[in-house]
Each structure stands twice: as structure tokens, then as C-alpha cells.
Amino acid sequence: MIKSPKILYSGILYYSTSSSNSDQQSNMNHLNSHMNPASIEPWFITGFVDGEGSFSISIIRHNGFNTGWCVKPIFQIGLHKKDLSLLEQIKSFFSVGSIYKDGSQMVHFRVESVKDLVLVISHFDKYPLITQKQVDYLLFKQVFNLINRKEHLTMAGLQKIISIKYFMNWGLSDKLNAAFPKTKQVEIPSIINLEIKDPHWLAGFVSGEGCFFINLSKSSTNRLGFKVELSFTLTQHSRDELLMRSLIEYFGCGNIYKTEEVFRYRVVKFSNINEKIIPFFSKFTIQGVKQLDFLDFSKAAEIIKAKAHLTKEGLVLLKIRKIKSSMNKGRIYSEQPSSSTSPFKCGSAAVLRTKKELMEQCLFYLNSR
């Protein structure tokens, strides 16, 4: 009989890709110890926002204001719905904001009340962003201060905000460019030589931007005809080149590769994976669904370390292929109605399952009829 999975946080169910009940329970216990709002470190929040967050200024026509425009500052994090639990943790950390469903796949944590944004700004002043997103944050803060002084209610103040917004994110829309043709350049904050000040920042950043892969490729030198390679990858826009290059010194391993406007930090040497990358993220824990990929990645490393991947049974039938097939995009995701009370507006719970577990549940259902 298949036991029900354990509920970890507000209706979110996590399933291990392990092949045994003991491994499955070990994975869930490990996640349990970290899927707790109180366990999120402040620097983790900053690192995750450096990867996944945004600071924006919404400016739309509104006849209720003397200027004819409504100005709203918005702090937001958007994720796939499978990471709803992580968004709930972040919401609990800030104790403000709301979580909304966006389409069929995305959920957003958003803070847009000026009163609530005081808490957000207080956090990022104390635990500052270190990617070039800090520029957007500092410009966002300038607009926030103008709104606090009620300057957004005057045409002069609104023009200042338009000038600042011009240099944030994607700039001005065509409608705003047409409505404010005399927009002047403002001084842009310069962000250089920022360094990783706390390892929890990197755990948060990798939770958003990192990837753990198992690569299987044909090999003429291996008697089974396959080569197993683990890789840890972190990607970022070229404007954060210095930060990406600093990872080589920080971890003491890895290389940088550039593709168009993207820099990719990559570690593939097994001794570095086993002795540096895995121990680091075992101590400074990744949060969210990506933690499951890291746990599977770590299992594969143990198999390689024990040389089990050199046997047909270890490589093809029981271990690495099975782990690889259920990682990243191979991890099946579905929804079920939730009986729990949740700030999530659509009232549904996220469920993660492996293909094997879905088949087992189907067979159990059919046999029990």
C-alpha cells in the first residue's frame, strides 16, 4: 500500500525521486528541516531576490489624480507555481505583501503598499543586493522617497519619477515616451566591486539561478559506452561579469564561459563537485524545489565516488539513469484541491511526483476498486 506523502508547508507536497522508502523519508526529513519560515536567513532573501526579484514603478493614466497619472512602486518575485511554498516563506519573512496567481503556471509575491514597502526597503538597506539589480533598487528607493514626500502628486514630481523610471529595468513604454517627451537624464548610481559578503547570499542566488545536471554521453573509452559527468552551472547577464568571475576564487574552482550577453560559471571536475560544491550547499542550504535536484545530484555523486557507475547495473538499470530522468524538467508536477488555508489567491496546492510514483498510485487505485 502506498502511503500518503507528507505535507511540509501550507499544502505543498514534495516527493523524493529516491528508489527506496528510507531514501525517500531521508529526503523529506531534510526538506522538512529547511522548509520553515523561521529558517530563512536574511542574506538568503537578498541572494534570491538578486536572482529572481524585481523593483519596478507602475505609471498609468488615472483621472482620480490631479496629474492624470497614478504612480505605484512594486516589489515582486515571480516563480513557477511548484515553488509556491518558497514564496509563502518569503511572505512570512517580510510579514507583508500578497501572493497572486498569474496565468496557469506562475505565482507572484508582491508588495505595493507604501507602508509595507518600508519593511522591504529596510531589509535591502541592511542586507544590500550585490548584482547590478542594486541599481534598480536604488532608483526604486529614490522614487519611493519622492512618493513619501507626496511629490508624485505634482507634475514636477511626476516628471522626476518619469526620468528615474527611464533608466530602470526596460525603461519607458511607448505611451510614456509619447506623454513625456522632455524626459531628462538623471544620475545613475554606480555599482562596482561588490563581493559576496555571506555564504547564505550564494545559497539564495543559486536557489534562483543555479542548475545541477547529470550528463550522460557516449564514450569510446568506457566499456559500457557511456560517460557520466556532473555539472554545476550558474548563469547571469554580462553586466555582472565581475561577480561571475569572482565565483572562481570564491569556490576555488570552475570556469567562466560567455555566450552572447550571458556569462556561465561551470564546475564539472568531479573532485571539485564532491569536495567543494556539494559540501558548501549541504551546509548553506538551497530552498525550494531546486533542493530536490541538489539532493539527487548528491546521490549521483555518491554513486560515482563508490565507482558504482562503472557497472552496468549501477549505470543503466538502477541508479544514475533513474536519478537523471527524474531531475529538473523530468520531475512531474500537478495540482490538487487544497483543504488548507493559504494566502495563495487561487486556493490550490502544488504536488510534485516522479513518474514512477504516479504509476504506482494509478495501479493502487485500480487494484483497490
User: At CA 70, angle to CA 69 and CA 76, rounded to 5?
Assistant: 140
Mean pLDDT of all residues belonging to the chain: 78
Mean pLDDT calculated for residue range 252-256: 96
Of the candidate CATH numbers 3.10.28.10, 3.40.50.2000, 3.90.245.10, 3.40.640.10, the domain formed by 42-129+133-179 belongs to: 3.10.28.10
Instruction: Please choose, from the candidates 251, 261, 238, the residue with its C-alpha nearest in 3D space to the C-alpha of residue 206.
Output: 251
User: Cell numbers at residue 97, please?
Assistant: 505583501
- Give CA–CA dist 176/168, Å, rounded: 14
Asked whether the predicted pLDDT for residue 147 surpasses 90, the reply is yes
Per-residue pLDDT reduced to its tens digit, 75-92? 999 999 999 999 999 999
Q: Where in the chain is the domain with CATH 3.10.28.10?
A: 42-129+133-179, 192-330
- Give CA–CA dist 348/84, Å, rounded: 10
Q: Which amino acid is at 37?
A: P
- Give CA–CA dist 44/319, Å, rounded: 32
61 bridge partner residues = 69
**Residue 293 C-beta-side C-alpha neighbours within 13 Å:** 24
CATH code for 192-330? 3.10.28.10
Which pLDDT score is estimated for 313? 52
Which pLDDT score is estimated for 275? 96
Q: Residue 154 carries which DSSP code?
A: S
Which pLDDT score is estimated for 338? 37
pTM for the whole thing? 0.76
56 bridge partner residues = 74
151 to each of 64, 121, 146, how far by Cα in Å?
Answer: 16, 19, 5
Which pLDDT score is estimated for 218? 67
Which pLDDT score is estimated for 330? 52
User: Cell numbers at residue 365, please?
Assistant: 487505485
Strands 98-102 and 226-237, bridge-based pairing = unpaired
53 bridge partner residues = 77
Instruction: Please choose, from the candidates 238, 222, 239, 234, the residue with its C-alpha nearest in 3D space to the C-alpha of residue 294.
Output: 234
Confidence of residue 171 (pLDDT cuts 50, 70, 90): confident
Asked whether the predicted pLDDT for residue 261 surpasses 70, the reply is yes
Is the CB of residue 74 less than 8 Å from the CB of residue 100? Answer: no
Contacts of residue 131, defined as CB under 8 A and 6 or more positions apart, other chains included, come to 50, 51, 194, 236, 240, 243
**Three-state DSSP class for 7?**
strand
- In this structure, is the dihedral angle defined by the CA atoms of residues 73, 77, 81 and 86, taken in order, positive or negative? negative
Q: Residue 102 carries which DSSP code?
A: E
Confidence of residue 194 (pLDDT cuts 50, 70, 90): confident
Which pLDDT score is estimated for 87? 95
Per-residue pLDDT reduced to its tens digit, 15-32? 233 334 444 444 444 444
248 to each of 243, 251, 344, how far by Cα in Å?
Answer: 10, 6, 39
Contacts of residue 142, defined as CB under 8 A and 6 or more positions apart, other chains included, come to 164
